Amino acid sequence: MAFRSMATRITPSRLGARGYYFNSASKYSVGSSASQKSEKKPIDYVQVYKDIADILEDDDYDDGSYGPVLLRLAWHASGTYDKDTKTGGSNAASMRFEPEALHDANNGLKIARDYLEPIKAKYPDISYGDLWTLAGVVAVQELGGPTIPWRPGRKDGLSAESCTPDGRLPDAAKKEDHIRSIFYRMGFNDQEIVALTGAHALGRCHPDRSGFDGPWSEQPTFFSNEYFKVISERQWVKKDLPNGGWQWVDKNNPTVMMLPSEIAVYKDKDFSKYFELYAKDEAKFYEDFTKAFTRLLELGVPFKGDEKVYKFETINA
């Protein structure tokens, strides 16, 4: 289904929920970033946002938008952080290098990295870490989600030495203990884990990327609390996959799926209360997602502290 048609599905209650953030957000402005050397022209991040927003929609790609795969790129660039060693995270954009580019978890993300290359060519001074995380912000906002405060300041790693070891991102075939240990390592708690996973309202699994197959909802180009409604309101049955693995599918609409890890997390008593909360209260989901996702994108970034925080105006949603 095309993104254009999804973008028109905004109910008054959703506008109300988003209005909260717009009211609390100061109007963006273009400023010179402290990270820029004085001889360089300041990067117009507001224009970068607009340029990415302009290229999101494509009826010939997946469900009509590059937003979901760009959001997955932003998350996989950031979710490698280890709070104990203070390594990984979005700073170095180390996924540009092998072996990290070839880690199984990053299958398919070359599409997202390549898709942003024309933007990088237009703004050669932007770091890849800033570009990828900003693209994640654009995806969330332009597909109907909350305003995500964002600041620049990431510096590109120069070689494969910046790569993180394999295994830092979650394995969807595993269970709740694994998911906890992966996200606790980044510094997130149970509530934040559930809030972040709500991003699966967007996008789909691809057999040639993860081996899993299908979207998490009937509206995969529309950010909302739909993920929590779908997981808690439907009947899930196991389906074997051609690659020898399996996934959960909705008994009444088997095109809609859940990963083995997700139902395991959902059934865990300490996690399940947050699924109930977010299924009932979209504004609370938006509030918690905004906080957790902003922090995710900043993990491991050595900000100087005087960077401007941008709250970009959403264009299409």
Residues that bind ligand HEM (CB under 6 A): 68-69, 71-72, 75, 108, 170, 172, 179, 196-197, 199-200, 202-206, 209-210, 212, 259, 261, 293
Q: What are the angstrom distances between the C-alpha of 298 and each of 21, 192, 233, 242?
A: 20, 15, 34, 38
Q: Tell me the C-alpha distance between 55 and 228, whole Å.
A: 29
Nearer to ligand HEM, 43 or 179 (CB): 179
In the bound complex, what is the minimum distance in angstroms from residue 246's beta carbon to ligand HEM?
Answer: 13
Look up residue 222 and give its two tokens.
């529309």
In the bound complex, what is the minimum distance in angstroms from residue 304's beta carbon to ligand HEM?
Answer: 26
- Choice among 76, 150, 200, 248 that is catalytic: 76
In the bound complex, what is the minimum distance in angstroms from residue 40's beta carbon to ligand HEM?
Answer: 31
In the bound complex, what is the minimum distance in angstroms from residue 10's beta carbon to ligand HEM?
Answer: 20
In the bound complex, what is the minimum distance in angstroms from residue 289's beta carbon to ligand HEM?
Answer: 8
Long-range pairs of 276-282 with CB within 8 A, sequence gap ≥ 24:
276/228, 276/232, 278/194, 278/195, 278/198, 278/225, 278/228, 279/225, 279/228, 279/229, 279/231, 279/232, 279/233, 281/225, 282/13, 282/14, 282/17, 282/224, 282/225
Answer yes or no: 76 catalytic.
yes
Under 8 Å between Cβ of 194 and 272: no
- Choice among 75, 132, 150, 216 that is catalytic: 216
Nearer to ligand HEM, 48 or 172 (CB): 172
Nearer to ligand HEM, 35 or 290 (CB): 290
Rg for the chain (alpha carbons), in Å? 19
Nearer to ligand HEM, 74 or 93 (CB): 74
Q: Which residue is nearest to ligand HEM (CB)?
A: 203
In the bound complex, what is the minimum distance in angstroms from residue 41's beta carbon to ligand HEM?
Answer: 32
Nearer to ligand HEM, 49 or 188 (CB): 188
Answer yes or no: 132 catalytic.
no
Under 8 Å between Cβ of 21 and 283: no
Nearer to ligand HEM, 43 or 93 (CB): 93
- Residue-by-residue DSSP string for 105-174: GGTTHHHHHHHTHHHHHHSTTS-HHHHHHHHHHHHHHHTT-----B--------SGGGPPPTT-S--TTS
What residues are labeled active site? 76, 216
